Homo-oligomer: A and B are copies of this chain.
Amino acid sequence: MASEVTLLDFWPSMLGIRVRVALAEKGIKYEHREEDLRNKSPLLLQMNPIHKKIPVLIHNGRPISESLNIVHYIDDVWNHDRAPLLLPSDPDQRSQARFWAHFVDQNVFSSGRRVWATKGEEQEAAKKEFMETLRLFEVELGDKPYFGGESFGYVDVSLVAFYSWFYAYETFGNFSIEEECPRLIAWAKRCMEKESVYKSLPDEKKIFEFVIQLRKKFGIE
């Protein structure tokens, strides 16, 4: 029996994008269910009763939540020859990959959000924090084609999901990421040449329009 895979998702979500990219990398067919976050489905509430958040991957009826945890799970389950490994097999390299992916969660999400959701001094502080974080990734990437080294991996999946949002960050923050992190932007463009990535990431202009709506909703001018 083929395994049944369903993804509960919301199109602009970086966390959902990560799972889409991982599933595409592995060539896994799945049912995609778009959630209305203002009116969550009974299935979402049942499958993620603790956080009630997307993304949730449902595999043969069993739910997995938390995006990095889902990507790790996908890599553990679909680890046959035809599917590229996202996490390295060496324990030391695995731990480094987990460290950097977790670092994206701790630092990029929150400061990026504050770049478009605040103004004045608060926004300036957010821009500074956001760029300091990206500069650490610029250094960590170095001359490697991917964070995973020669091949696209766990940290790449974790961070590239934010690339659709860069245009909105830059426009509302009035700064250029490429000016300070040219290697990071070259890396993002390299990732975008992969079908698993460009088919999973929403268009940056569509994200920009979505952020305009959010700003209106939150009363930010």
- Give the contacts of A93-120 with B (CB-CB under 8 A): 94-95, 98-99, 102-103
- Give the contacts of A30-84 with B (CB-CB under 8 A): 50, 59, 62, 64-66, 69-70, 72-73, 76-77
Chain A residues within 8 Å of chain B by Cβ, number:
21
Alpha-carbon distance A168/B70, docked complex (angstroms): 36
Alpha-carbon distance A72/B59, docked complex (angstroms): 24
Does A91 belong to the interface (CB within 8 Å)?
Answer: yes
Closest chain-B Cβ to A100's Cβ sits at a distance in Å of: 9
Does A125 belong to the interface (CB within 8 Å)?
Answer: no
Are the C-beta atoms of A64 and B95 separated by less than 8 Å? yes
Interface of A is mostly: helix
User: In the complex, what residues of B have CB within 8 A of residue A220's CB?
Assistant: none
Are the C-beta atoms of B65 and A99 separated by less than 8 Å? yes
23 A-B pairs with C-beta separation under 8 A: A50-B103, A59-B92, A62-B92, A64-B92, A64-B95, A64-B99, A66-B98, A66-B99, A66-B102, A69-B95, A69-B98, A69-B99, A69-B102, A70-B95, A72-B94, A72-B95, A72-B98, A73-B91, A73-B92, A73-B95, A76-B94, A76-B95, A77-B91
